[in-house]
Amino acid sequence: MRRLRCSVTVFCWLVGLVPMAAGAQSAGTAPSDLLRFHPKLPGVDYDTPTDPAAINACKVETVVKEQKSIGYALRDGQGKLLRRFIDTDGNHKLDQWSYYQDGFEVYRESDLDGNVSLDEARWLNAGGTRIAAVVRGQVASWKQISAEEASKVFVQGLVQAMANGDLALLETVMATPAELAAAGVPKDVVAKVAAAAASRAEKVDALVKTLSGWNRQTIWNRFDGTFPHVIPADPSSGLEKDLIVYENAMIFPGSTAATNPSAAPSKAAYLQVPDLIQLGATWKFIELPMAFDPDKPVVASISGIRALLFDRSNTVQPRDEAVDAALKALADYDSKNSQLLQSPDKRDHAKYHIGRIPHLQAVAKASKNDEDRLSYNKQVVDSLVAALRSGSYPQGREVLEKLIAKGGKLGSYAGYSLINAKFAMENEQPGANFLANQKTWMADLENFLAKFPQAHEAPDVLLQLAIANEFNADEEPARQQYAKVIQDYPQTEAAKKAAGSLRRLDLVGKSLALKGTGLQSESIDSTQYQGKTLLVVFWASWATPVKDNLPELIRVQEKYRDRGLEVLGVNLDNERADLEAFLKAHPLTWPQIFEGGGMESRLAVEYGIISLPSMFLVDAQGKVVNRNLRTSAEVDRQLEKLLAQRQAGSAAAERRE
């Protein structure tokens, strides 16, 4: 697919087009006319046919609203949308231009004030979520941008700076002193950021010199981070409001194969980001990232907003040679031995993990703070558990039990890890009795809570017990344990999930008000289905029971469609691309809510979803009649009963009249 720039001449030509009369057959407007127009901003991925036969197969349609023509739509030979240009304000000039990929809108440009110039650009669906304010054909600022997309724009801006020294795009994702002041950041920290901004050009030049393997064809590949952190408001530091930040994330570059086929992205320097800060609907960099050679180990940055807040001297400590050496030895070991994990022989797996332990212990020993030591010692536990589970290192259990006996944070981590490893190993045995093994596992979890009531793992352990009881249809102890998670560990993610589970358990007889965002960025609300019977399906493309159940569920929908059944999907895939790939191969006729995040997404947490599929059945009055449907057969039986009752009630009402 081609990505071309649009000329000002073409832009003005299309802005001035008058939508055709309603019912007209696109007279005077050929597919080639609409294909002449391209996004004003570079780097947009969208479909453009280049083969003459494919272009000739395209068709121009009239877009009609309230029996009036408001613009043009272009479809390819298979009927998929390619372009949609419309007049939104009724002044008989086009002011919104949409571009599509695989039939979905991925990019939109708008003239918001009717001055025949581009004011706003939006990336949608697979294109992303960002919204740019555009001035004189360039991004001036961001109305909305995610952390991942901010990192992509930063790479684009850095390459632009390499090419011609232009910092304009890069500056759009750098936090300004005014924004930080509005966010409640102390004045002296704002002053330091302002001083750094004043010397940005020199700092960018220095960064560019460290970008080994980069060139003008370098593009963004991916953004890797753990999860956002909250730095709470703190009078002692002068921080007036909570700050939400990504800390020590990584940005990895790529290359365009068409322009640089011999490039080796794995050899190109990647960027370590001290932090990104959330400012309203946007995420921005506070300071420039650092470039790292992929062949050398990474040492976590001590710069960034946290250091500026809590270490006002902001003294940069020298890198620790002992830590560097230990990390290098660990990286070398992984590089030379990772192929053992591909072996079909489990003994090779054990060999890899056992050999890794002394290197992890060396890094832990060299580390100068408790958090780093604990992190690497936890990886030692992970390797012990992996070796134990291979079946070739039974003595790993004894080592783990010694760690557990010592107590502390590492002891609790080892204890929880060993409990789950034993449960998995017992269920892998031929003829395993799952229910008996589960009973032992639950007893082990209860013993864990007695021994480590304040452990970091305790809320998750208690939540696991509640979930297990719910699965076993022991709802009363499950309710009590969910409530205890909320009471004893109120600030944890487990407490949020427990609260959602209690909400779900109490749904029957209550009105359902479930809201989310659809695949076309539209708002979907379950209350809009009142008067219909509604089946809400929580599902994901990776869940085998879901995939096995969907064909039957489609048949159930067809069976009851004429009797008022509607279906609403809530997809819990982690990535939108996974959902779109599944729907392309297995089209579903009902709308989908998708907000990303998988089983930890907003709606999954709000309703405590613990298995897939989970289905709620809602009657025509908007009340939940069943919140625990698992299969299409259960749905069929429940619908037959519900609709029969509804029909009988209607018949009785008619007789009374």
Which pLDDT does position 305 carry in this prediction?
83
Which pLDDT does position 27 carry in this prediction?
44
Both tokens assigned to 217: 């064809």
Q: Is 207 among the domain residues?
A: yes
Q: Is 572 among the domain residues?
A: yes
- C-beta of residue 448 within 8 angstroms of C-beta of residue 419: yes
Of residues 127, 154, 126, the one with CA closest to residue 139: 154
Which pLDDT does position 76 carry in this prediction?
95
Q: Is 90 among the domain residues?
A: yes
In order of 118, 136, 310, 490, 623, the CA distances from 11 in angstroms are 9, 13, 51, 56, 52
Q: Is 178 among the domain residues?
A: yes
**164 and 94 assigned to the same domain:** no
Tens of pLDDT along 92-112?
A: 888 999 999 999 999 999 998
Confidence of residue 1 (pLDDT cuts 50, 70, 90): very low
Per the structure, the count of domains in the chain is 4
Average pLDDT over every residue of 201-228: 88
User: Is omega for the bond preceding 613 within 30 degrees of 0, making it cis?
Assistant: yes
**130 and 161 assigned to the same domain:** no
**178 and 301 assigned to the same domain:** yes
> 159 lies in which domain range?
147-310
**31 and 113 assigned to the same domain:** yes
Q: Is the pLDDT assigned to residue 651 strictly greater than 70?
A: no
**592 and 549 assigned to the same domain:** yes
Among 441, 456, 471, the domain-final residue is: 456
DSSP H/E element including 499: helix 493-505
Q: Is 441 among the domain residues?
A: yes
Which pLDDT does position 312 carry in this prediction?
53
219 φ, ψ (degrees, to nearest 5): -130, 170
Among 120, 144, 168, the domain-final residue is: 144
∠ CA 176-177-179, rounded to 5°:
65
**277 and 375 assigned to the same domain:** no
Confidence of residue 227 (pLDDT cuts 50, 70, 90): confident
Lowest model confidence (mean pLDDT) among 131-135, 594-598, 601-605: 594-598
DSSP state of 175: P
Q: Is 283 among the domain residues?
A: yes
Confidence of residue 311 (pLDDT cuts 50, 70, 90): low
Tens of pLDDT along 550-587?
A: 999 999 999 999 999 999 999 999 888 889 999 999 99
Of residues 309, 270, 327, 262, the one with CA closest to residue 293: 270
Q: Is the pLDDT assigned to residue 188 strictly greater than 80?
A: yes
Confidence of residue 323 (pLDDT cuts 50, 70, 90): confident
Q: Is 630 among the domain residues?
A: yes
287 φ, ψ (degrees, to nearest 5): -140, 170
**306 and 392 assigned to the same domain:** no
Q: Is 494 among the domain residues?
A: no
CATH of the domain at 619: 3.40.30.10
The DSSP line for 570-610 is EE--SSHHHHHHHHHHS--SS-EEE-S-GGGSHHHHHTT--
Determine whether 620 is exposed, middle or buried from the number of CB atoms within 10 Å of its CB (0-12, 13-18, 19+).
middle
Distance CA 62, CA 84 (A): 10
Confidence of residue 7 (pLDDT cuts 50, 70, 90): very low
pTM value > 0.85: no
**443 and 545 assigned to the same domain:** no
Both tokens assigned to 655: 């007789």
**167 and 300 assigned to the same domain:** yes
**263 and 159 assigned to the same domain:** yes
* Cα within 13 Å of Cα(597), Cβ side: 13
* Amino acid type, 181: A
* Residue indicated by tokens 């070739």: 392
How many CB atoms within 10 Å of residue 120? 16
∠ CA 206-209-213, rounded to 5°:
145
**522 and 631 assigned to the same domain:** yes
Strand blocks (E) in 256-317: 270-279, 282-285, 290-292
**346 and 423 assigned to the same domain:** yes
Confidence of residue 8 (pLDDT cuts 50, 70, 90): very low
Which pLDDT does position 303 carry in this prediction?
65
Among 265, 285, 310, the domain-final residue is: 310
Which has more confidence, 16 or 514? 514
Distance CA 283, CA 131 (A): 12
